[in-house]
Every structure is written in structure tokens, then in C-alpha cells.
């Protein structure tokens, strides 16, 4: 890979919440927001605001057009066949729960099986456990990892049977940064007649996702990890699946006709968007996608790959530092220091103006697999550069001196 000029590709100036001298390395938790997204949110609340899908007055009609344009933007970003395949939700967690409580309840029966992996976020574990408990007799299988922290698809192929009705896997690990071969995972699931859901939270801001190329059945992501606002995300699903799924919440907007005797439902995606939606969040997400695509996902990915390479090289030269995940991780470096709790690492780094994540990262089964209680995690975005890596390495050296 060609050498990346991190100073040239960094877009730090676009992010007003990152002052000079502060090194924000927690993008995997939530990305900072560029000024264009902040401006879009400010404009929506301060100048253009009105409800959607209800008013006959001009501003409401204009806001409805803008809201649905955001849905179309998400569909284009994912290369969906239609905007009607995109459901707005609060985030990936809600999207996975939606699938579990609609498609899952309608489809799974005692004796069926679900395949997850060892590295899944709690949001892609707990909803399936709750579903299995609700139905009874549904089993969850766990695919192991390769030695460098990737989902072992050879093992998955050996494990899958016709009893499996769903496979649910992370496109990019939020702890290890390892990238799933999503196309192969989809082929393996479909070979036994199972559907597959891909958790794209860490993938969409780093490598992108083409749902038609992948061939998956469900794809979910959260807007706040894509440089957009919190409280907005998307569920993409094949149209025929959405059409067959029952609603999971009742209220306004998701109905066709209501009587006390019977209620009929609106078509998808409105059927799954009960109540007043996060209008401004959708518009902010639209602006975030525009921002990311203006830069170009290949540029962002190359920038983050260079940062990961530099960070791993710097940390591997420090005694007692243990690195996790593959060398080519997507934007994420998790590590531990022998004899030092990650919370102490995070606290000492914070004193030096370096912000990282320390903990189990909502992936406790993965921590159990690694035989550690927690890790420290540095995760990068388009606003980071070589100075951030240098500050991280300097801070880690200070940690090792303090703890001897």
C-alpha cells in the first residue's frame, strides 16, 4: 500500500469539538461531528422545523420531503434496491431488537438454532437470547475466532445445519477491528437456508457496505458512529422480508385504518416507525453521509489503516504491552499492559489529553475468550493524524514508568 500523508488526509479542522492539543481516540464508541452536520441540525431546528407525514401546510410538506430524502440517501449509501427497504430506528441496537421481535417471533420455532460469533457486541447477543427465552427450545451456537481475532468462517461452515434459521455477525469487530468476509458468510448462511443479519456499526464509517454485493438479508448501523447525530440509525432489509414482518410498536404513522374492531397496518417501512420520528436526526445523518462520501470511503479507510499500522508499530516496541486483533484491523487497536488495569491506563492518558476507551466494550464474552477482564482501545477517525499516535505512545510509556 502506498504511504499515506496523514497530515494531508486528516480533516481535523472540520470538527469544532476537537481543540488543539486534545487527542480523541474513541471513535469506535462515537465519532465527533463535522461542522456541516452541526449546521444541518441547527438549520433543521432553527429555520426549517415542522413535523412530517401529517401537515398539509408548506413547511411540513418540505420537511417531509427532506426526511424522505434522507431515507433515499441511506438507501443509496448501502446500494439498496429501494428506499422502502430502509427503516429509521434509534440505532443498531433498536434495529436488531426490531428484527428479533418481528421476524424472529414470526419465524423461529422450538428446535431452531441461531449462530453468533465469539466477538459480538452485546447488542447482537442479548436480543437473540431474549428471543430464544421467549420462544423456548431455540438454541444459540457460537462460532470461534481465528488466532488473529477474525470470525472463523471455516468453523462456521462446519457448524451450520438446516436447523439454523439465522446467522448474526459483526462486519467489523468493535474491539479487535477485524473485518468479516461478509459475502462468504452470507453464502454459508444461505447454503443451509438461514437468513443473515450483519451488524455494520463499525463498518459503514470505515469500509462501507454494499448490501446487494454482500447479499445479506438484514444490515444495521448507527448514525453517531458515521459522524452523524445520536438517536438515529437504520435497518436495511430485503423488501420481501419487511413486507412479511409484523409491526412491533403501535401508534400513529404506522397504521392504514384504525377502528375499535380492527386495525390494519401501513406498508413498510412506515409500519415500523410508530410515532413522531427523529426528524432532525435523519437530516443530520443525511449530511453525515454526504460528508463521508465527499471525502471518499477508500480515502478514509487508507487513512485509518495507516494510523493503525503506526499505532501498532509504536506500541509493540513498548515492553509489557500486549496487542490484540489482526495487523490489518480497520481503525481500531486494542491493547493491555501487564499489571495495569485498563481503567488506570485511560485515567493516566486522560491527564495527558489523550482520550481512549477502557473496559469490556460491551463484549464480555470476547473478554472471557481473551482471558482478560478488559482492554484499552484506541480507535481512529478521519480527524486523527500522526500527532495522535505519538501522544498515545508517549502516554503509554508514562503509564509503564508509573507502574514500574
Across-strand partners of 337? 321, 340
CA atoms of 105 and 366, how far apart (whole Å): 27
Tally the residues of the chain: 404
The active-site residue out of 143, 201, 216, 362 is 362
Nearest to 97 by CA among 68, 67, 121, 71: 121
CB-count burial class (<10 Å; 0-12, 13-18, 19+) for 241: middle
Distance CA 227, CA 198 (A): 20
DSSP state of 216: -
SS3 label, residue 253: coil
The strand pair at 164-170 and 195-199 is best described as parallel
DSSP 47-62: TS---SSS--SHHHHH
Say which DSSP state 368 is in: H
Phi and psi (nearest 5°) for 219? -140, 135
* Residue 251 grid coordinates: 401508534
CA distance 344 to 353: 14
| Dist CA 85 CA 366 (whole Å) | 32
- Alpha helices, H only, 100-256: 105-107, 126-135, 153-159, 182-191, 211-214, 239-244
Instruction: Examine the residue annotation and report whether 362 is marked as an active-site residue of this protein.
Output: yes
> What percent of the chain is helix, strand and coil (3-state, nearest 5)?
45, 20, 40
The residue written with cell numbers 487508507 in the block is 302
Those residues whose C-beta lies under 8 Å from the C-beta of residue 228, and which sit 6 or more positions away, are 31, 33, 37, 281, 284, 285, 287, 288, 289
Matching residue, cell 482478560: 372
Q: What angle do CA 284, 77, 7 make, to 5 degrees?
A: 75
Which candidate, 279, 244, 286, places its Cα nearest to that of 265?
A: 244
Q: Which residues are catalytic?
A: 362
Amino acid at each position: 500500500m502506498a504511504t499515506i500523508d496523514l497530515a494531508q488526509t486528516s480533516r481535523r479542522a472540520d470538527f469544532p469539538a476537537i481543540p488543539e492539543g486534545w487527542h480523541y481516540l474513541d471513535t469506535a464508541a462515537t465519532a465527533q461531528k463535522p461542522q456541516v452536520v452541526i449546521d444541518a441540525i441547527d438549520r433543521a431546528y432553527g429555520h426549517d422545523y415542522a413535523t412530517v407525514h401529517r401537515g398539509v401546510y408548506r413547511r411540513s410538506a418540505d420537511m417531509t420531503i427532506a426526511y424522505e430524502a434522507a431515507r433515499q440517501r441511506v438507501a443509496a449509501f448501502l446500494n439498496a434496491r429501494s428506499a422502502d427497504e430502509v427503516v429509521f430506528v434509534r440505532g443498531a441496537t433498536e434495529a436488531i431488537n426490531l428484527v428479533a421481535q418481528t421476524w424472529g417471533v414470526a419465524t423461529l420455532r422450538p428446535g431452531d438454532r441461531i449462530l453468533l460469533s465469539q466477538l459480538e457486541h452485546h447488542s447482537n447477543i442479548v436480543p437473540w437470547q431474549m428471543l430464544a427465552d421467549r420462544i423456548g427450545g431455540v438454541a444459540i451456537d457460537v462460532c470461534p475466532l481465528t488466532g488473529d481475532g477474525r470470525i472463523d468462517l471455516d468453523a462456521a461452515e462446519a457448524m451450520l445445519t438446516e436447523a439454523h434459521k439465522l446467522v448474526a455477525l459483526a462486519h467489523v469487530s468493535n474491539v479487535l477491528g477485524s473485518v468479516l468476509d461478509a459475502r462468504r458468510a452470507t453464502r454459508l448462511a444461505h447454503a443451509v437456508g438461514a437468513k443473515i443479519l450483519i451488524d455494520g456499526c463499525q463498518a459503514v464509517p470505515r469500509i462501507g457496505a454494499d448490501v446487494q454485493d454482500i447479499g445479506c438479508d438484514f444490515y444495521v448501523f448507527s448514525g453517531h458512529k458515521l459522524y452523524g447525530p445520536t438517536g438515529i440509525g437504520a435497518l436495511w432489509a430485503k423488501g420481501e422480508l419487511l413486507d412479511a414482518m409484523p409491526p412491533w410498536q403501535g401508534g400513529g404513522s404506522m397504521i392504514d385504518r384504525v377502528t375499535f374492531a380492527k386495525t390494519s397496518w401501513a406498508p413498510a417501512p412506515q409500519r415500523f416507525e410508530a410515532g413522531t420520528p427523529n426528524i432532525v436526526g435523519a437530516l443530520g445523518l443525511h449530511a453525515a453521509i454526504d460528508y463521508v462520501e465527499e471525502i471518499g470511503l477508500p480515502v478514509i479507510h487508507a487513512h485509518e489503516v495507516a494510523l493503525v499500522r503506526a499505532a501498532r508499530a509504536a506500541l509493540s516496541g513498548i515492553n509489557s504491552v500486549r496487542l490484540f486483533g489482526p495487523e490489518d484491523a480497520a481503525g481500531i487497536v486494542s491493547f493491555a499492559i501487564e499489571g495495569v488495569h485498563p481503567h488506570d491506563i485511560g485515567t493516566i492518558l486522560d491527564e495527558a489529553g489523550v482520550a481512549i476507551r477502557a473496559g469490556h466494550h460491551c463484549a464480555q464474552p470476547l473478554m472471557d475468550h481473551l482471558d482478560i477482564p478488559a482492554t484499552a482501545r484506541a480507535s481512529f477517525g478521519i480527524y486523527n493524524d500522526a500527532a495522535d499516535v505519538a501522544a498515545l505512545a508517549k502516554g503509554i510509556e508514562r503509564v509503564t514508568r508509573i507502574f514500574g
